[in-house]
Amino acid sequence: MKKHNFYAGPSILPQEAIDETIKALQNFAGTGLTLASVSHRSKEFDAVMNDAVAMFKELLDIPEGYSVLFLGGGASTQFAMIPYNLMKKKAMYINTGTWATKAIKEAKMFGEIIEIKDDDFFSIPKGYDIPDDIDYLHITTNNTIYGTELLEDLDVNVPLVADMSSDIFSRKIDISKYAIIYGGAQKNLAPAGVTFVIIKNDILGKTDRKIPSMLNYQTHIDKNSMFNTPPVIPVFTALQTLKWIKANGGVAGMNKRNTEKADTLYNEIERNKLFKGTVAKEDRSIMNICFIMNDEYKELESQFGEFAASKGMIGIKGHRSVGGFRASIYNAMSIDSINALVDVMKEFEEKN
Ligand SMILES: *Cc1c(COP(=O)(O)O)cnc(C)c1O
């Protein structure tokens, strides 16, 4: 039976990216050596790093004056690196869920935080004022756990920093509006172990704080992400994913595919008498689709989970802090998997 991978992260990657990685683990770039054992200073790996940076810039249309970095430590290390490098006194954070909450916790160690938050995380705060004396504004564009997403680029007069761990390459973004965009790669790009950072070079050097080398963006900009040993295998896979995105219509192609996938699934959640969505319609994510049983059918929740699993639907259980169900339908997922899930939802409705 075909398995459909709805895990939230680590999660589905293009089959081509996996296949190319397997080949490189056997014989990397004609070296006769495995990718796992080749020097990151070799000319063959240097080319991988340079190509990955170049493809990032090409696919996202990154303007001059920005650097692309591939680091270790996950998005969670960025939660601390951002205030470490940017905070003079005060920053503003839009708290849209668990990840933003964690980012705020780190930032509070470096300065004053103005926090904007709705009563719950089922919608994205709107209509707040942004003071112009803050060092930066931090947002999380896609809330992987709650299934809300900000689908536009904010227009603000302060440096804008965005956690795009779970929606990078899913839609076109105007990079020039951002000072930093970062994310763990394990949602839409590569196996766990590499973190991408897109950074506007002139945003740095504004605090007189001493910053440890590894946590200083300038170190990694100066050394082209090779100050220390980069996560070689995930960087290689990331490059293969980028090639796959390019071959499939680029970011615009991804967005078309993702919108169709999300619409198909949300339409079924609305139509099916057993289920309902959990978030405000205008803030619904096109990456993580959360739903629960309708009130009259609450007792069927675990039964549906088992039924779906028996049909090859893997990883649709909601995050432990939210419950219900969550289908993560990242770039690499095809519409066939969405249709298969919709069929399972219909079949379960007919049975009940
Ligand atoms: C998964 C996730 C993170 C955490 O990433 P790590 O690489 O595990 O540190 C942060 N932010 C968002 C939006 C995520 O989805």
**Is residue 129 domain-shared with residue 88, that is, in the same domain?**
yes
Sign of the CA dihedral running 11, 16, 18, 24: negative
Q: Residue 264 belongs to a domain with what CATH number?
A: 3.90.1150.10
Nearest atom within ligand 1 for CA of residue 164: 13
Cβ–Cβ < 8 Å for 65, 201: yes
Structure tokens at 314: 């893997």
**Is residue 280 domain-shared with residue 338, that is, in the same domain?**
yes
Does the beta carbon of 140 lie inside 6 Å of ligand 1?
Answer: yes
Does the beta carbon of 241 lie inside 6 Å of ligand 1?
Answer: no
**Is residue 235 domain-shared with residue 261, that is, in the same domain?**
no
Write down which residue in 224, 247, 270 finishes a domain.
247
The whole-angstrom separation of Cα 96 and Cα 145 is 10
**Is residue 24 domain-shared with residue 121, that is, in the same domain?**
yes
- Residue (of 305, 78, 350) closest to 214 by Cα position: 78
**Is residue 300 domain-shared with residue 342, that is, in the same domain?**
yes
Give residue 322's pLDDT: 83
Sign of the CA dihedral running 177, 231, 187, 9: negative
What is the per-residue pLDDT across 115-174, written as a single tens digit (0 to 9) for each?
Answer: 999 989 999 999 999 999 999 999 999 999 999 999 999 999 999 999 999 999 999 999
Residue 139 domain boundaries: 15-247
**Is residue 260 domain-shared with residue 169, that is, in the same domain?**
no
- How many angstroms separate the Cα of 115 from the Cα of each of 123, 138, 160, 224, 281? 15, 10, 15, 34, 24
Average pLDDT, the chain: 97
Does the beta carbon of 74 lie inside 6 Å of ligand 1?
Answer: yes
Q: Residue 137 belongs to a domain with what CATH number?
A: 3.40.640.10
Give the containing element (helix H, strand E) for 292: strand 288-293
Number of domains in the chain: 2
Write down which residue in 247, 277, 302 finishes a domain.
247
Does the beta carbon of 75 lie inside 6 Å of ligand 1?
Answer: yes
Active site residues per annotation: 99, 163, 187
Nearest atom within ligand 1 for CA of residue 141: 13
**Is residue 173 domain-shared with residue 293, that is, in the same domain?**
no
Give residue 312's pLDDT: 98
- Residue (of 200, 222, 256, 254) closest to 59 by Cα position: 254
Long-range own/partner contacts, residues 255-263 (CB < 8 A, 24 or more apart)? 255/170, 255/171, 255/172, 257/331, 257/335, 258/170, 258/171, 258/286, 258/287, 258/329, 258/331, 259/286, 260/335, 261/286, 261/329, 261/333, 261/335, 261/338, 262/286, 262/287, 262/289, 262/329
What is the per-residue pLDDT across 272-294, written as a single tens digit (0 to 9) for each?
Answer: 999 999 999 999 999 999 999 99
Nearest atom within ligand 1 for CA of residue 166: 15
CA-nearest residue for atom 3, ligand 1, is 75
Give residue 41's pLDDT: 96
Give residue 323's pLDDT: 87
The stretches in the chain having pLDDT less than 70 are none
- Residue (of 156, 121, 157) closest to 140 by Cα position: 121
CA-nearest residue for atom 2, ligand 1, is 165
**Is residue 19 domain-shared with residue 131, that is, in the same domain?**
yes
Give residue 321's pLDDT: 80
**Is residue 221 domain-shared with residue 257, that is, in the same domain?**
no
Write down which residue in 247, 273, 298 finishes a domain.
247
Instruction: Compute, in angstroms, the gap from residue 183 CA to the centroid of ligand 1.
Output: 7
**Is residue 234 domain-shared with residue 332, that is, in the same domain?**
no
Cβ–Cβ < 8 Å for 324, 246: no
CA-nearest residue for atom 12, ligand 1, is 165
User: What pTM does this model have?
Assistant: 0.98
Structure tokens at 261: 């996938």
The whole-angstrom separation of Cα 152 and Cα 142 is 11
Give residue 320's pLDDT: 84
**Is residue 322 domain-shared with residue 192, that is, in the same domain?**
no
Structure tokens at 115: 């926090």
Does the beta carbon of 141 lie inside 6 Å of ligand 1?
Answer: no
* Number of residues that make up the chain: 352
**Is residue 19 domain-shared with residue 129, that is, in the same domain?**
yes
The beta-strand segments (E) located in 118-229 are: 137-140, 142-143, 148-149, 160-163, 180-184, 195-200
